[in-house]
């Protein structure tokens, strides 16, 4: 089972079924299948018909399309690491199951998708908070239609971290005065505390939440206006169970400094309710991530254009993202994101009116439809999300579908026997997203790049 930190808000459980053989042989009668987290090292397969599956009563999205021979590639969104032994299911245009297989050790598996059909990756992982496990089940479906991508790249978007150990440690952090500071922040891989001047100390109990028994500690000072002023890092400290330890960290441990990213936002509507710009640097040396963030918020802006600069921790970590979000009434949000392994201090510019807005209507646990509400450009793809978010007594389950712009509706294909608990029992949250990726032109290229790419523009409506 894979794990990721509590920064995500979805939870659900792993499913274990017998693993297939290692040689990629085709299996019959359902005797050689595996659920998410299975132990087979190659893409073993099985076939079934709609009588072997959990029918939605509506079939798949149907409609036209071309047969497609391609590779499904499943990787971690941030690290790019392959995710092997995850279940991949191919469905026909009527929603019936025609193939069940597994990703190989390189995270990929070849598939033949019938005309009008679809392919789905099923997977599960857990979040950890306070030593408690919160499991999550997810499914991502692609309806390629007429597109002929050489590969379909899907990503889970998870940060990996080890299951927290049973130990507990009291960690204290102290620092010198930072002139002009309005707030201090102390973080490790396993805790975060904020303090207001004149305080120069923070303390917290910490579990062994990393993957190697080590942790880092970061301190940061923000000025009176909330801008990141300085930071320092103390790296590679050993976790010691039932121990009390204080770290005195000098600001000279900055390790890379700060930079400013110019931003500009144009064509804001009079109905805009808020605009925010965020810049996040992430360090995950020991698995569990530590972030340094800068956020600029502008509620009910009167201007049609906004510009400025946002501070970024250039030398901190190995993942850097800058994001602009613009909100309109009725849960419509447009955004622009730029992410990479190194900091990018070039200007970031966003036309808030460029992409067309779509209004989602009548989402059910197995389907959704939408209509264009405001004129604008079509992006590279449409993403539909349907979630049961869970309330602590039931599961947290999500289904995401990717279709070409202009589809207008989508219906979940049938689930194969053994994966019935990936059905979403009720709709707690649903959205439709018009998405335009920076490095893709059209639906086929977007599938090849990965529709979960963090680099792109989008506008979405929620229900």
pLDDT in tens, 191-250: 889 999 999 999 999 888 887 889 999 999 999 999 999 999 999 999 999 889 999 999
Better-scored residue on pLDDT, 34 or 452:
452
Domain boundaries, the chain: 168-253, 259-351
User: Bridge-partner residues for 385, per DSSP?
Assistant: 400, 431
Better-scored residue on pLDDT, 415 or 359:
415
156: confidence class by pLDDT, cuts 50, 70, 90: confident
61: confidence class by pLDDT, cuts 50, 70, 90: low
Quick one: pLDDT at residue 227?
92
User: Bridge-partner residues for 454, per DSSP?
Assistant: none
Cα angle 333-339-341, degrees, rounded to a multiple of 5 = 160
User: Bridge-partner residues for 12, per DSSP?
Assistant: 136
Cα–Cα distance between 188 and 171 in angstroms, integer?
9
Quick one: pLDDT at residue 116?
96
303: confidence class by pLDDT, cuts 50, 70, 90: confident
Nearest residue to 9 via CA among 453, 419, 388, 450: 388
Q: Is 87 left (phi over 0), alpha (psi -120 to 50) or beta?
A: beta
* Whether the predicted pLDDT of 17 surpasses 60: no
User: What is the tens place of the pLDDT at every residue in 418-452?
Assistant: 999 999 999 999 999 999 999 999 999 999 999 98
Token pair of 272, please?
Answer: 């805009």
User: What is the tens place of the pLDDT at every residue in 244-286?
Assistant: 999 999 998 776 789 999 999 999 988 899 999 999 999 988 8
* Whether the predicted pLDDT of 395 surpasses 90: no
Q: Is 447 helix (H, G, I), strand (E, B) or coil?
A: helix
Cα–Cα distance between 397 and 18 in angstroms, integer?
22
Q: Is 51 helix (H, G, I), strand (E, B) or coil?
A: helix
Nearest residue to 366 via CA among 403, 411, 399: 411
Helix (H) or strand (E) holding 299: strand 290-299
Domain 168-253 indexed as CATH 2.60.40 = yes
Give the pLDDT mean for 335-360: 94
Torsion on CA atoms 455, 404, 418, 1, rounded to nearest 10: 0
Torsion on CA atoms 302, 304, 307, 312, rounded to nearest 10: 80
Q: Return the CATH number of 259-351, one of 2.60.40, 1.20.1740, 2.120.10, 1.10.3470.
A: 2.60.40
Helix (H) or strand (E) holding 461: strand 456-462
Token pair of 177, please?
Answer: 């005065």
Q: Is 86 helix (H, G, I), strand (E, B) or coil?
A: coil
Report which DSSP code applies to 122: E
Cα–Cα distance between 441 and 447 in angstroms, integer?
10
User: What is the tens place of the pLDDT at every residue in 71-130?
Assistant: 999 998 777 889 999 999 999 999 999 999 999 999 999 999 999 999 999 998 877 665
Entry pTM? 0.83
Torsion on CA atoms 206, 185, 263, 280, rounded to nearest 10: -10
């Amino acid at each position: 089972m894979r794990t990721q930190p509590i920064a995500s808000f979805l939870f659900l459980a792993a499913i274990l079924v017998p693993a297939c053989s290692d040689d990629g042989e085709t299996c019959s009668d359902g005797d050689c299948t595996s659920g998410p987290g299975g132990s087979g090292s190659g893409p073993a397969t099985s076939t079934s018909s709609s009588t072997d599956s959990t029918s939605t009563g509506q079939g798949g999205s149907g409609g036209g399309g071309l047969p497609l021979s391609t590779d499904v590639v499943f990787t971690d969104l941030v690290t790019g690491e392959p995710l092997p032994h995850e279940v991949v299911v191919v469905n026909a245009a009527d929603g019936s199951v025609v193939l069940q297989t597994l990703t190989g050790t390189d995270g990929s598996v070849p598939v033949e998708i019938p005309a009008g059909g679809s392919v789905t990756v099923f997977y599960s992982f857990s979040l950890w908070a306070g030593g408690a496990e919160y499991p999550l089940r997810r499914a991502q479906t692609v309806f390629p239609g007429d597109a002929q991508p050489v590969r379909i790249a899907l990503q889970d978007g998870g940060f990996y971290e080890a299951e927290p150990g049973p130990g507990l440690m009291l960690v204290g952090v102290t620092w010198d005065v930072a002139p002009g500071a309005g707030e201090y922040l102390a973080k490790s891989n396993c805790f975060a505390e904020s303090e207001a001047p004149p305080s120069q100390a923070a303390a917290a109990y910490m579990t062994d939440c990393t993957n190697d028994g080590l942790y880092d500690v970061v301190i940061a000072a923000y000025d009176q206006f909330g801008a990141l002023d300085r930071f320092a890092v103390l790296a590679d400290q050993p976790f010691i169970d039932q121990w009390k330890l204080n770290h005195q960290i000098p600001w000279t441990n900055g390790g890379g400094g700060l930079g400013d990213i110019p931003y500009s936002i144009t064509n804001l509507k009079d109905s805009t309710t808020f605009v925010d710009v965020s810049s996040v640097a992430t360090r995950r040396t020991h698995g569990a991530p530590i972030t340094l963030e800068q956020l600029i918020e502008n509620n009910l802006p009167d201007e049609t254009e906004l510009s400025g600069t946002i501070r970024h921790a250039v030398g901190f970590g190995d993942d850097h993202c800058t994001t602009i979000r613009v909100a309109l009434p009725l849960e419509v949000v447009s955004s622009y994101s730029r992410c990479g392994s190194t900091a990018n201090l070039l200007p970031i510019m966003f036309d808030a009116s460029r992409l067309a807005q779509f209004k989602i209507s009548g989402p059910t646990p197995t389907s959704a439809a939408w209509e264009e509400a405001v004129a604008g450009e079509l992006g590279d793809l449409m993403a539909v999300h349907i979630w049961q978010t869970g309330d602590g007594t039931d599961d947290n389950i999500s289904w995401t579908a990717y279709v070409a712009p202009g589809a207008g509706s989508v219906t979940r294909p049938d689930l194969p026997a053994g994966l019935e608990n990936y059905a979403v029992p009720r709709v707690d949250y649903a959205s439709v997203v018009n998405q335009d990726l920076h490095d893709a032109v059209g639906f086929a290229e977007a599938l090849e790049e990965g529709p979960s790419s963090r680099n792109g523009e989008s506008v979405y409506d929620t229900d």
